[in-house]
Structure 1
Amino acid sequence: MKAPSIAFLFPVLIVGLIVMVLSRNIGDVPALGPLFDPFVGLAQNDKPTGRALATGLHELQRPVQVYFDEREVPHIFASQQSDLFFAQGYVTASLRLWQMDFVTYASAGRLAEVLGPKYLDKDRLQRRLGILEAAKKSLAFIEQDSQTNQVLTAYTKGVNAYIEQLHYKDYPLEYKLFAGKPEPWSKLKTVLIMKYMATALSGYDEDMAMSSMRLALGKDFDRVYPEWTPDNSPAAQRAATQLARHRPASADSLGYLNYAFLQGITTVTPSEYNPKLGSNNWVVSGKKTKSGNPILCNDLHLSLSLPAIWLEMQLSAPGINVYGVSIPGAPAIIVGFNSSIAWGTTNGATDVKDWYKLKIADDYSAYEFDGQWRKTTARVEEIKVRDAATVYDTIYSTVHGPIVMDRRFHEKPELLNYALRWELHNPSNDILAFIKLNTATNYQQYRAAISHYACPVQNFIYAGKDNDIAITHQGKITRKWAEQGRFVLDGTKKSHLPTSYIPEDSLPVSHNPGSGYLFSANNRPTDEKYPYYYNGYYSETRAARIHTLLAADNQFDVAKMEQMQLDNTNGFAAQAMPVLLAALDRTKLNAAQLKFLAAIENWRGDYSQQDTTAILFDLWWDNVEDYTWDELRNYPFYSQAPKDEVLLQLIARDPQNRYFNRINTAATEDAAAVIQSSFVDAVARIVEKAGEGASPAWGQVNKINVTHLSTLAAFSRMGISSGGNPEAINAISKNWGPSWRMIVELGDKPKAYGIYPGGQSGDVGSPHYTDFIDDWQKGRYYELHFYTSEQEAKAATKAAWQLGN
């Protein structure tokens, strides 16, 4: 045998030395030796899906067939539903194990356990917000329902069957990077994932800032921050006129809300919630389509991340055949369709979080409530910290909810000794809503299914192949007196604590309207005639644009629906342009400014990648907003500018209003002066950056990041040029956007199309990790292969697994 050459041995020796040196921890950096070991480390993470597939799965009653189409979408066919959900858990883990695990750590407040002390405060806040405690309570409630418990049990066994047959070399790369390993899956982990999603969608939280602004602005507050604006396009109008009035009178008006009550609030921590971004859904009946069949559309705008939020799949067994997207770590299809119905969701934007100011004992042992002192309850949270001592954090709670900030932990000092009432804390079985939606075949079953959904409020839109269409503002909404919960509440008063919910049969709903279409885009679900008070942060611009487009056509098909979902028109910009142009004095503009004016005069709000005018409008309007509301920004508790529609109405109806007078100039400005200086300054900024030729193309400045959950840039896709705007139907900006675009035309057999920005695999070495992103960025769609039988799936696909014992 010929001896190996030195050229071969040298790299082997070097690799050996590297592995030996790096096989120990250095500070916060995990041991990296195993990562570079060619037999178990990074080199093993370019394996195709299923390389570590088990040969025996004894929990299955009968074999399950899994067919993977050309995009790695699994189509799972089982002989019974328990085997189906076992297989869903198994297949999901094979594609997204680290993502599933990581999200549960983030949700439960356990990041410091794997990532070290710098995440301790994040964990403490998460525990104090009550996410883990809420998940435990909901699980106990869920387990009382035999159907949900059976599904969860089967799904959990499937995930664990995959985990148990893994060796270190098979671990997803992130485990190797962060020196971790997958722990056994549990039903609690699934509930934590659902609570994680609910937390992300419960972002509205302006009680403190709005309370302070109300006192500061006095009678101007309702004008600057009105609850209702004239452009309201109700999502569920019929409910507003069919019910008797049930709004209780204010318990004591808002007399309690004074400077003495809010004493100590000098600033408000900026909110991370972006109220301008949300989702769209709409549906048209057959009388508005070329085919005579209904078409349902949904694009969910969420944080853009890798691995992707959603996992596409088909689930089929006796009594169920459904296609759509699931949440990795949870059973069933969340948004999708079957042979009879299609459904989608948008965030209802209704407020489900209220803050209560407490009168509390110095040692947190008791609080005043309804004229008496009550004992607080206390629990001690054990927070493990990698390479450091375990932290034990005591969290006190009242009848309202947990005291999130106290003297020992006050990241948000304005919330010191306030209790949080959050609907998420109450036990619910939201999973059952989706399990039942998966098998629903008509409107009645759709309504029965979503009745199990609690928090946060969602707009569930529906289409049946019989041309039934509907939308429901669904969730637990407390009955309130006028403006209750819009501001900080008094924790000493029993009357400030809600005692009941809006009845299920009184929630806003619309079914088969005469218009033949329905829609929602985080807009108000009703008009002012609705008999119950509710509040939230609603956006009307996208809804108005959808309304206009749906009303204008009676010959819709899938291609037109794709155009609608990709519509880059900022409806507000189109509305604002005539008002702004009318106020400009052209005689005061120089040649360069007139050139830019000529470019924008005929612009209609287009935010496509190629458009060279959008950036000018953005800068112009931002200046108008900044110069007008400069007084408000001087308040230390200012957190949210008034809505654009409010400012536009002020310009049109009250151009001499005092807010137009800028506080740092000697002149006295009106609306026209603000608009003039705003335009001049916007042009100057563009000229400074790009020269006098033209504004840069929108795609050059509108860069999108699809970021890995660990934030590691190497695992992310950064700086993607994109069209769209937060106020356009194609609502995109920086790290938010359409996380799943779906179009379904029902008929004899559903025809469906969709895409999300990511890929089916969570393995960074897989060709299916980011393979959808370029097509998503270009506005393309994939046909969704809905197979009506296993034989059809087998004939159409090339890759398959058989799971069985």
Structure 2
Amino acid sequence: MATGRRGAGRRVGWVVRGLLGLILAVAAVIGGAFLWVRSTALPRVAGAAVVQGLSGPVTVTRDQWGVPHIRAQGSDEDAVFALGFVHWQDRAWQMDFQRRVAQGRLAEVLGEPALAQDRFLRIWGFQRAAESALPALSDRSRRLIRAYTAGVNAAMQEGKTAVEFRILGYTPDAWSDVDSVSWSKLMAFDLGGNYDEELLGRRVVDRLGEAGLNEVFPPYPEGAPTNLSADELPRPAAPPAGPAGTGDTALLPERTVETLRAHLAAARSLGMERVPGKGSNDWVIAGSRTESGKPILADDPHLALTSPMLWYLADLQGPTLKAIGASIPGLPAIVIGRNERVAWGVTNVNPDVQDLYLEPEGTRLTQRTEVIRVKGKPDVQLVVRESAHGPVISDVAGEDARAAGPTVALKWTALAPGDTTMDAFLGLNYAANWADFTRALSAYVAPSQNFVYADVDGNTGYYAPGRMPVRRGWDGSLPVPGDGSREWQGFIPFEDLPHTFNPADGLVVTANNRVVPGSYPYEIGNIRNWAEPYRARRITDLLTGRPTGLTLDDVKRVQLDTVSLVWQDLKPRMLAATPDGESSRRALELLRGWDGNQTVDSVPALIFEAWLMQLQKLAQDELGNEHAVNSLAVLNALDGGGRLCQDAARQIRDCPQLLTATLRQAVTDLQARLGDDPAGWTYGKLHRVASDHRAFGKVKYLRDVFNHSAPTPGGTNTVNVARPEAGTFRQTHGPSYRQIVDLSDPNRSLYIGSLGQGGSPIGPHASDQQTLWARGEYLPMSTDPKDWGPTRVMTLNSLK
């Protein structure tokens, strides 16, 4: 018996040793493959490289977070060359994907599922617009762009290949100068369009009448904060633009509206969408209000939170170019940041710079044929038509769409030839004072932004540059006839655009709210175009609550504030609800004592957002299941007891019944997700940042490698904005970058991105900023090596 046990034991031992050997062999293969991928995909960040295109050596010192500190002695072009080099090293896939989006060449590598996006991108003509912009740029800009292109292509010659290129099985093309302009066109769409609101506005009028516009798109409230006060407005030499009003609008058949909405679906799939709560904050505080006696400037642009992140932190110094801040891979400039003398920040103006024109029969159209290559499928030919107004976007579905309804063309400032916006951004990098700053902005076209300004001499300012159309007798909120009766009358002159220098109260706050009060003689956007005033009001209240002695830490607390003014407005209305069961009653009691602070461990924060999501559906029975109204529309509906509260299909007759029903729906939803006990309904369990990969974010087995997530505070319209996505509670948009610049000692300034510097999921800097960002921490925005921590140094030497 003992012998049998010993024999069995030996057999088990053999099996175990065999399995262990197999596991070790597999691990060795996997480990070897991992090391091989790392060695061929991750960039060289130390040592020396010999490259073609430099006038002298350049050092690239990467700090402990992977931020490159570039030092070029020979020329500014050498510094920009190095920026292109490190951009491609760290973000090659992102850069290639972005230019493919602009070109409408996604199906070429992603296959037939990307065909709809390519059609949308080709019809709108983003790449053609970029090609027309390049010749209009200044000699300096062209030189810097050429240097940047040379740097990108030099990095390609290093032979390192992004993981995405390996997975998809293709080699990227060489970079070209126009590729450095094209992404700015996509940013203009992301930040400067309102044609979707024109389409929805048309549907609202059709189904609810003209009065429905104010119910679904509430006008900006009287007395709410504006960027400039009446006494800060410029005094235009030109006469007023004429009376406002909708004027004659064009009726669009429902089938045409649905065809046009296909563009929205394509844009949404690319992350190019206008979502509620997507905006930005920036402000500048004069030295009269600060402890140091010098200005403090803050900015946090709210955009899609992607993997890799949009921004790339960089410190760029040549003989005269000395800028640090946030760059965008593909663009040869610091987009938001500071140099040795001035700092700037941006938020979206939300101007109305797009119009839909219903072209009459017989309108002269031009056309061209585009060829879309599709991976694994035959090429697709696409006929693109244009009128004098712009591209015919009702042709989205191809030939069949032309017989389906009228011809609708899009007019948009960003598609006009001769866009010199790149001159403006490069000029900001060199600005030494307000005169330089405004001179640079005079070249700005699109997307119009609120620029705040501060300098080391103690000056502060604000400008809203860009081409903003002048309309006479109509307001651009709805589609119009293309018969010549509703044409733009030029643009607001640059000197008449909203701006101020050293305002008397020492404070400028912008948060996508209304730019100017009603006394301004031009229309920038219609009264329904602005973000709700909650963020602007909260920032202003916090900063003016302490009129002097403000410090960097004070500004940090404002930027990270998560108290909901939306809750404060809705609280008495929501707490007046009649619960229809024990679960609803318990949820209501948890809300009753809540202070509105939306922290990750708050239970009431999750109940509030879940309930608000349900309330924001109140117009879906009239407008369709995809439409959610904003918080102000909910407030107005509850106060007015209006028709939007009614829903015949659900037998809801009034607002009290709506409150009861939506509370029950919210509680039922949370129970299904987190269980019956509300004690476990903490906000951070569902509310998590979702930095998803553009190509692989939804691909099984790849998404867990390429996507990144973390619990986050904040909510709908908090200063630290973090609106939960309807149906998932994920945070998909928010502060993509934060900076706080102290002009008393610029190297004490702070910045941080939402994810990390690296683009490779296997690299050390893929997501090392995300936890800090979610906790409200920052990196030193310093050009001083003592603040960089452990470093790695690479030298780029010129090939003789």
Provide the TM-score with structure 2 as the length reference.
0.86
Task: Decide which of 612, 617, 622 is 1:634's aligned counterpart.
Answer: 622
Give the 3-state SS of the residue equivalent to 1:325 in structure 2: strand
Task: Give the stretch that moved more between structures: 100-109 or 35-44.
Answer: 35-44
Task: Decide which of 764, 778, 781 is 1:781's aligned counterpart.
Answer: 778
1:443 to 1:701, Cα distance in 2 relative to 1, 3 A: same
Task: Decide which of 536, 540, 543 is 1:550's aligned counterpart.
Answer: 543
The one-letter code sitting in structure 2 at the alignment partner of 1:236 is L
The one-letter code sitting in structure 2 at the alignment partner of 1:148 is S
Give the 3-state SS of the residue equivalent to 1:382 in structure 2: strand
Task: Decide which of 679, 685, 695 is 1:710's aligned counterpart.
Answer: 695
Alignment of 1:549-628 (within 5 A): 549-553=542-546, 554-581=548-575, 583-584=576-577, 593-626=584-617, 628=618
Contact 1:405/1:413 (CA < 8 Å) preserved in 2?
Answer: no
Counterpart residue number, 1:75: 69
1:420 shift after superposition:
0.9
Contact 2:780/2:787 (CA < 8 Å) preserved in 1?
Answer: no
Give the 3-state SS of the residue equivalent to 1:613 in structure 2: helix
Counterpart residue number, 1:342: 343
Task: Decide which of 501, 505, 516 is 2:495's aligned counterpart.
Answer: 505
Counterpart residue number, 1:315: 316
Where do 5+ consecutive residues of structure 2 fail to align? Answer: 1-17, 269-273, 697-701, 725-730
Give the 3-state SS of the residue equivalent to 1:533 in structure 2: coil
Counterpart residue number, 2:385: 396
Give the 3-state SS of the residue equivalent to 1:471 in structure 2: strand
Task: Decide which of 375, 394, 412 is 1:405's aligned counterpart.
Answer: 394
Task: Give the stretch that moved more between structures: 695-704 or 660-669.
Answer: 660-669
Deviation sequence 1:619-661 (CA, Å, 0-9, x none): 33344444x536xx3345x864444224424433x34x44434
The one-letter code sitting in structure 2 at the alignment partner of 1:152 is I
The one-letter code sitting in structure 2 at the alignment partner of 1:105 is R
1:715 to 1:421, Cα distance in 2 relative to 1, 3 A: farther
Contact 1:60/1:86 (CA < 8 Å) preserved in 2?
Answer: yes
1:109 to 1:659, Cα distance in 2 relative to 1, 3 A: closer
1:668 to 1:575, Cα distance in 2 relative to 1, 3 A: closer
Is 1:761 the counterpart of 2:762? The answer is: no
Deviation sequence 1:740-760 (CA, Å, 0-9, x none): 111110125442111112222
Task: Decide which of 460, 464, 476 is 1:485's aligned counterpart.
Answer: 476
Alignment of 1:33-432 (within 5 A): 38=33, 42-45=37-40, 47=42, 49-50=44-45, 55-79=49-73, 80-142=75-137, 145-164=138-157, 166-167=158-159, 170-204=160-194, 205-224=196-215, 225-230=217-222, 232-238=224-230, 240=233, 242-243=235-236, 246-249=239-242, 254=246, 256-257=248-249, 262=253, 265=256, 267=258, 269=261, 271=264, 272=268, 273-360=274-361, 367-368=362-363, 374=364, 376-406=365-395, 408=398, 417-426=407-416, 427-432=418-423
CA distance in 2, matches of 1:735, 1:667: 32
Deviation sequence 1:314-372 (CA, Å, 0-9, x none): 11122222111111111121111122111111111112221111224xxxxxx43xxxx
CA distance in 1, matches of 2:414, 2:178: 15
Deviation sequence 1:282-332 (CA, Å, 0-9, x none): 111112212222111111111111222111111112222211111111112
Give the 3-state SS of the residue equivalent to 1:390 in structure 2: strand
The one-letter code sitting in structure 1 at the alignment partner of 2:769 is F
CA distance in 1, matches of 2:615, 2:24: 65
The one-letter code sitting in structure 1 at the alignment partner of 2:117 is K
CA distance in 2, matches of 1:766, 1:547: 41
Give the 3-state SS of the residue equivalent to 1:459 in structure 2: strand
1:691 shift after superposition:
2.0
Contact 1:247/1:481 (CA < 8 Å) preserved in 2?
Answer: no
Alignment of 1:628-707 (within 5 A): 628-629=618-619, 633-635=621-623, 640-652=627-639, 654-655=640-641, 657-664=642-649, 668-669=653-654, 671-683=655-667, 685-686=669-670, 690-694=675-679, 696-707=681-692
CA distance in 2, matches of 1:39, 1:580: 54
CA distance in 1, matches of 2:656, 2:402: 40
1:264 shift after superposition:
5.2
1:96 to 1:621, Cα distance in 2 relative to 1, 3 A: closer
Task: Give the stretch that moved more between structures: 278-287 or 716-725.
Answer: 716-725
CA distance in 2, matches of 1:254, 1:71: 52
The one-letter code sitting in structure 2 at the alignment partner of 1:177 is I
Provide the TM-score with structure 1 as the length reference.
0.86
Calculate the aligned-residue CA RMSD, in Å: 3.2
Deviation sequence 1:711-758 (CA, Å, 0-9, x none): 241333344211111311111242111111111101254421111122
Counterpart residue number, 1:538: 530
CA distance in 2, matches of 1:104, 1:668: 51
1:684 to 1:726, Cα distance in 2 relative to 1, 3 A: closer
CA distance in 2, matches of 1:393, 1:512: 53
Contact 1:67/1:793 (CA < 8 Å) preserved in 2?
Answer: no
1:767 to 1:413, Cα distance in 2 relative to 1, 3 A: farther
CA distance in 2, matches of 1:290, 1:414: 65
Task: Give the stretch that moved more between structures: 642-651 or 344-353.
Answer: 642-651
1:392 shift after superposition:
2.5
Deviation sequence 1:672-703 (CA, Å, 0-9, x none): 44334444554455456532544711111212
CA distance in 1, matches of 2:507, 2:414: 32
Counterpart residue number, 2:748: 751
Is 1:435 the counterpart of 2:426? The answer is: yes
CA distance in 1, matches of 2:220, 2:420: 33
Contact 1:89/1:159 (CA < 8 Å) preserved in 2?
Answer: yes
Task: Give the stretch that moved more between structures: 545-554 or 408-417.
Answer: 408-417
1:274 shift after superposition:
0.5
1:191 to 1:595, Cα distance in 2 relative to 1, 3 A: same
Where do 5+ consecutive residues of structure 1 fail to align? Answer: 1-5, 19-34, 361-366, 369-373
1:466 shift after superposition:
2.0
Counterpart residue number, 2:437: 446
Give the 3-state SS of the residue equivalent to 2:300 in structure 1: strand
Counterpart residue number, 1:363: none
Sequence identity percentage: 27
1:800 to 1:736, Cα distance in 2 relative to 1, 3 A: same
1:189 shift after superposition:
0.9
1:161 shift after superposition:
1.5
Give the 3-state SS of the residue equivalent to 2:326 in structure 1: strand
CA distance in 1, matches of 2:431, 2:240: 34
CA distance in 2, matches of 1:37, 1:418: 57
Counterpart residue number, 1:30: none
Alignment: residue pair count: 748
The one-letter code sitting in structure 2 at the alignment partner of 1:385 is V
Contact 1:247/1:533 (CA < 8 Å) preserved in 2?
Answer: no
1:98 shift after superposition:
2.1
CA distance in 1, matches of 2:763, 2:772: 17
